[in-house]
């Protein structure tokens, strides 16, 4: 099953996350199918850049979004219009 989830990147004290589509049986740090955007929680306000159209296309194909990614997608939709 495919999952849309966060993949941690950055250094120990400066993390940022990539929003990726990956197989749910693989580790979050492992291979991924497609990168949809990124999330930087350390900036004020936190920065979210995500391709909402591609994310919705993956969800229509059967991918499940994690709870955090679902909230980030809602914020991105509101910011777009």
- What pLDDT sits at residue 24? 83
Instruction: Give pLDDT tens digits for 29-81.
Output: 778 899 999 999 999 998 999 999 999 999 999 999 999 999 999 988 887 76
Whole-number Å distance between alpha carbons of 59 and 44: 29
| pLDDT score at 56 | 93
Residue 27 pLDDT level (bands cut at 50, 70, 90): confident
What are the CA-CA distances from residue 76 to residues 3, 6, 13, 27, 70 (Å)?
18, 15, 25, 26, 10
| 67: CATH | 3.30.1320.10
pTM score of the predicted model: 0.87
Residue of 4, 18, 2, 9 whose CA lies nearest to 55: 4
Domain assignment of residue 32, given as a range: 2-80
Q: Characterize the bridge pairing of strands 34-40 and 64-65.
A: unpaired
Q: How many domains does the chain have?
A: 1
For residue 70, what pLDDT is reported?
95
Q: What is the mean pLDDT of residues 10-22?
A: 93
Q: How far is CA 38 from the centre of its chain?
A: 6
């Amino acid at each position: 099953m495919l999952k849309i989830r966060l993949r941690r990147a950055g250094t120990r004290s400066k993390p940022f996350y990539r929003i990726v589509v990956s197989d749910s049986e693989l580790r979050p740090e492992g291979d991924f199918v497609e990168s949809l955007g990124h999330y930087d929680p350390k900036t004020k306000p936190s920065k979210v850049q995500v391709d909402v159209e591609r994310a919705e296309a993956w969800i229509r194909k059967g991918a499940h979004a994690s709870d955090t990614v679902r909230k980030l997608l809602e914020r991105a939709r509101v910011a777009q219009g």
